[in-house]
Structure 1
């Protein structure tokens, strides 16, 4: 059986590969320690599709969806005989100047729609069902900013795979057959210093990002010996031992509260191979070569970091407690 067997199997992934949306909610919660809390959580997330249909039926054109991610510690509390091979907590990555922090999170709800009110209503129902079984540790409302730009002014997600490559990069295959159709996801919340970023020239910003700001064209200035450090684009280009470029699926969203001086990007990366995201982050925070970290981190601070397994719909539904 080859690596594409998952595509022929009767397995339905969650909406990992859904199109980019206009609005999103990123909700991270922890599960209370009582055994009963884990049972409540299993009952709710195993029927997440029912809640999505309840809200989404009000506007089928709103394309409401919700991916549920389960953290390593939470999975260990769900009385499952097997564990996804690559599931682990997010480990902090301390660099010479900046750190990719690790923060609590047992469950991730990635809610997407073309209407913010659909996201709001689904989040409300989810939290109502979960009740005091969970504690919210992070909640971000994201929005699509002009032509898919981040608040730094650059187009975000250009290197996302498309077509069949999207599924190949994001969905588990025969390498872990019991969890085929699932995915791994890493999330980080970055806060931007827009005043400091705005103090740079456009050319300086483009050198840091590795693309032109207006027309989103890749710069080719990383290679010459005179180039000042690798760009964000270059550091996030990962190749394996065979020289094959590896991809992940991003669905980053800007967020902000101007009245509080809060401006940021919520990074969310789905991957079939967790090591690809880990390698990206190590290159960003530690540097390549070591010490020459991603200069974007001088203006964007990571304030959260957690990772999850996103099971197939069949695996998620099978988490329902036995009656």
Structure 2
């Protein structure tokens, strides 16, 4: 995990001519990342670009990623994983904040009036990769070849192989309420010891814990994982404390199942008690193409024949 990240969600202009600008931009993204990154090679600058379902249809037409669809809200009332507009996602990461800032500025400059940014979050590493609520985040992330297998599309959707699906949500935390809890109560809600990050024993870990409800298994009993690159963010002077959730997976289904377990419950009613202190204010699903595919999208035509 890098020290800094910028998450940008934008919507497309309704003006048809601006779609040409976005398509041409797809062919420039990798070059812009290389140019900015060479200003500080130790900064580990990278950028992932994603497209929402409606945006894909407007920009590129058929064929389309097999499992790309609009994100539907999950839950009811105050416990709701909301669905919010999102056509383009930029996930910019680096160990130096100025690299993230410069790349975001350059990429948005090229897009110009073709898009409108609807959400921009500047995340940072918090101590030893802890979330704002004080627990280590992303402990169960797959690594190495396992990470590739869980997050990268293969021959099941060959035209879009080496791409991925990504779901983003911005959570705001009630830190006053959370900090009023005892450490033991917090640990039961998360399912881990706060200081050591060790998972609670199965015979004491509540079924409503965040850890329990976000653990999935397939029909063979094997755990199904996603890759999280969450980042804390906030404005202490405005009493804003949050976590930007971003999860990558080979299919959207595991992430959406985790959210259903959290917001509705497993079984229904046995929901994630972390949601008593954390509120999702955004939610969007994107397909992130490989770099070679992203560059070829500059030459794609839509069903209407426009380029």
Q: TM-score, normalising length from structure 2?
A: 0.95
2-structure distance, mates of 1:271, 1:151: 24
Residue 245 of structure 1 deviates from its aligned partner by 0.9
Give me the whole-angstrom Cα distance separating, in 2, the residues matched to 1:299 and 1:220: 24
Report how far residue 122 of structure 1 moved.
Answer: 0.5
- CA separation of 1:217 and 1:165: change in aligned 2, threshold 3 A: same
Partner of 2:124: 143
From 296, 300, 306, the equivalent of 1:318 is 296
Q: Which one of the candidate residues 180, 193, 198 is aligned to 2:161? A: 180
Q: Please give the residue correspondences for 1:63-78 in structure 2 after superposition, counting only pairs within 5 Å.
A: 63-78=44-59
Alignment partner of 1:157 is 2:138: yes
Please name the residue that 2:304 is paired with: none
Q: Using the alignment, how far apart are the partners of 2:60 and 2:210 within structure 1?
A: 41
Q: Counterparts of 1:64 and 1:208 in 2: how far apart (Å)?
A: 35
User: CA contact under 8 A between 1:96 and 1:291: conserved in structure 2?
Assistant: no
- Aligned residues: CA RMSD: 1.3
Match of 1:231 among 202, 206, 209: 209
1:91 equivalent in alignment to 2:72: yes
Partner of 1:105: 86
Residue 103 of structure 1 aligns to a residue whose secondary structure is: coil
- The answer (yes or no) to whether the contact 2:191–2:206 under 8 Å persists in 1 is no
Separation in structure 2 between the aligned mates of residue 173 and residue 116 of structure 1, nearest angstrom: 33
Shift of 1:46: 2.4
3-state SS in 2 of match to 1:270:
strand
Matches within 5 A, 1:1-323: 20-95=1-76, 97-221=78-202, 223=203, 228-321=206-299
CA drift at 1:321: 3.7
Q: Cα deviation per residue 1:266-317 (whole Å; 9 max; x = unaligned)? A: 0000000211001100000000110111000010100000000001111111
Classify 1:321/1:175 alpha carbon distance in 2 versus 1 (closer, same or farther; 3 Å): closer
Do the aligned partners of residues 136 and 96 (structure 1) sit closer, same or farther apart at CA in structure 2, a change above 3 Å counting?
Answer: closer
Unaligned runs of 5+ residues in structure 1 are 1-19
- How many aligned positions are there? 301
CA distance in 2, matches of 1:167, 1:126: 27
Report the alpha carbon displacement of residue 81 of structure 1 after superposing the two structures with TM.
2.8
Residue of structure 2 in register with 1:5 after alignment: none
The DSSP-based 3-state class of the residue aligned with 1:117 is helix
